[in-house]
Amino acid sequence: MDYDVVIIGCGIVGAACAYELAKHDLRVCVLEASNDVANGTTKANSAIVHAGFDPLPGTKMARLNVRGTAMMGELCRKLDVPYRNNGSLVLSLSESDDGILQKLYAQGVANGVPGLALLDRTQTLSMEPNLSPAVRGSLFAPSAGIVNPWELCLALAETAVRNGAELRLSAPVTAIAQTAGGFCLTTPNGKLTTRYAVNCAGVFSDRIAVMAGDRSFRIQPAKGEYFLLDKSEGTRVDHVIFRCPSELGKGVLVTPTVHGNLLVGPNAAPCDADDVANTAAGMDFVRVSAQRSVPGINFRDNIRNFAGVRANSDRPDFIIEASAAAPGLIHAAGIRSPGLSAAPAIGLEVLELLRQAGLELRKKETIIDSRKRVRFHALSDEEKNELIRTDPRYGRVICRCETVTEGEIVACLHTPIPPVSVNGVKRRVGAGMGRCQGGFCGPRVQEIIARELGIDPTKVLMDWEGTWVLSGETKGGTAQ
């Protein structure tokens, strides 16, 4: 056997599993279909650390959400991931909403959510003066927060790799065969064998199950669309602002992001698993709904739209269990919202399921459990000077909107999981995330990637395989 455990998929769930497993004396491998980690649903969601009053008491969702959220602050601190415990408000805008708030409150208490409080109109408006005057009251959840989901995923995966896990990118699993005491997995670059496999393939997790002969669930993908607004709108609200949940889901929320922008969305519409296109209807819906809770949002300051696909399934709960059809396969599948919040706890849950399935877990004697990266803009003037003295590339600002320096870009290209695309750099250091959306820095970033990785600039992708940027040289050729 090549490995003790192979994790299929490196979104937040796969990365959390890898992070926990790599703390043990095991041969762990993560197979990711895309050319980067966090390239699925993990990069396109609301980025909320939910308090945990939404899921029904007694579900895995409820338990893992509350536990994951409780772990989040410490985890993000250790791994240097932007996180803010800003709390959330669910608004009541009608009499029937008042009833729903009561129900959510009771549910939250049953789930063990700390500090919940029902606020009246005055209290609510004093906390958030830009809310609709129609607001009647709210449910305040102080434990809720916001996080950078792709950086959390990256930090978990990077730490796992530092602790000895292997990560293979551009390695989609295309077939799974049960062997004596394990599995043989096929990828385009060859086969590998493992004693255990963990299915963390997100919206494709039912396809992985089927490959292993398990047809016990089906994913029913549903898209959610967003607006991401300029920092000039970033202080419109301070807490995460939810509408009351309905049949259609949690409804359109308005929240600041950890980067200081304003995020507005999502809607919910059935879609194909790989369909992340924005639609005029979806965007209109989001715009109109959001204005019912926060009327003043200036959508002219939008800088980007995107869409994420929910791994909804034909089951009401997360599917985190040992496969009955394929012993040795553990599912962490159908992880829809609050999957991001629950992810740290899902990692521990999967560890426990593997132990129950016979995997012996021995903690390594020394493990790395910290991470640090330079965020130039956040340094003091003295620290900035010190850094530029040791490496002048920190004095050259490449991304002007977000003040990201060449030094940071070069550094990220030499981490354990180096990016291979312009957006890969963006997810790691924020270059191109700002108001000009890479208009200025895109070409420079492309050049730096090519230089540092020793590849031709025309080979540098925008993002995943196939997203080429340059078609060739001009007639005059390149100047330099």
Ligand X SMILES: Cc1cc2nc3c(=O)[nH]c(=O)nc-3n(C[C@H](O)[C@H](O)[C@H](O)COP(=O)(O)OP(=O)(O)OC[C@H]3O[C@@H](n4cnc5c(N)ncnc54)[C@H](O)[C@@H]3O)c2cc1C
* Contact residues for 233 (Cβ-Cβ < 8 A; gap 6+): 261, 262, 297, 298, 301
Kindly compute the dihedral angle of the four CA atoms of residues 101, 106, 111, 112, in this order, to the nearest 10 degrees. 100
H/E element holding 194?
strand 190-199
Query: What SS3 state is found at 305?
Result: strand
Taking the complex as a whole, how short is the minimal distance between the CB of residue 219 and another protein, in angstroms?
19
Which of the stretches 48-56, 80-88, 124-132, 454-462 binds another protein when contact is defined by CB under 8 A?
A: 454-462
Residues in the interface with another protein (CB under 8 A) total 62
- Which of 50, 239, 259, 377 is catalytic? The answer is 50
Name the DSSP letter for residue 202.
G
**What is the rounded distance in angstroms from the CA atom of residue 226 to the CA atom of residue 243?**
15
Is 192 near ligand X (CB under 6 A)? no
Is residue 229 a contact partner of residue 262, using CB atoms and an 8 Å limit? yes
Taking the complex as a whole, how short is the minimal distance between the CB of residue 43 and ligand X, in angstroms?
7
- Nearest residue to 423 via CA among 64, 108, 241, 154: 154
Token pair for residue 56?
Answer: 């029904």
Site string (310-349) toward ligand X, x via CB under 6 A: x------------------------xxxxxxx--------
Is 465 near another protein (CB under 8 A)? yes
Judged by CB under 6 A, the chain residues 259 through 278 that form the site for ligand X are: 266
**What is the rounded distance in angstroms from the CA atom of residue 404 to the CA atom of residue 375?**
8
Q: Which is nearer to ligand X, 124 or 267 (CB)?
A: 267
145 torsion bin: left (phi>0), alpha (psi -120 to 50), beta (else): beta
Taking the complex as a whole, how short is the minimal distance between the CB of residue 240 and another protein, in angstroms?
22
Beta strand ranges found along 302-461 (DSSP E)? 302-310, 319-322, 329-333, 397-399, 404-405
Which of the stretches 10-18, 76-84, 90-98, 405-413 binds ligand X when contact is defined by CB under 6 A?
A: 10-18
Residue 332 pairs in a beta bridge with 320
Phi, psi of 155 (to 5 degrees): -65, -40
Judged by CB under 8 A, the chain residues 286 through 305 that form the site for another protein are: 299-300, 302-305
Give burial (CB, 10 Å; 0-12/13-18/19+) of 477: exposed
Which of the stretches 1-9, 241-249, 382-390, 408-416 binds another protein when contact is defined by CB under 8 A?
A: 382-390
Taking the complex as a whole, how short is the minimal distance between the CB of residue 238 and ligand X, in angstroms?
17
Is 277 near another protein (CB under 8 A)? yes
**Is 50 annotated in the active site?**
yes
The binder of 335, among another protein, ligand X, none, by C-beta within 5 to 8 A per type, is ligand X
Q: Which residues are designated catalytic?
A: 50
Question: For binding to another protein (CB under 8 A), which residues are involved?
Answer: 227-228, 274, 276-280, 283, 299-300, 302-307, 381, 384-385, 388-389, 392-397, 400, 403, 405, 435-440, 442-443, 447, 457-458, 461-480
Question: For binding to ligand X (CB under 6 A), which residues are involved?
Answer: 8-14, 31-34, 39-42, 45-48, 50, 172-173, 200-204, 208, 224, 266, 308-310, 335-341
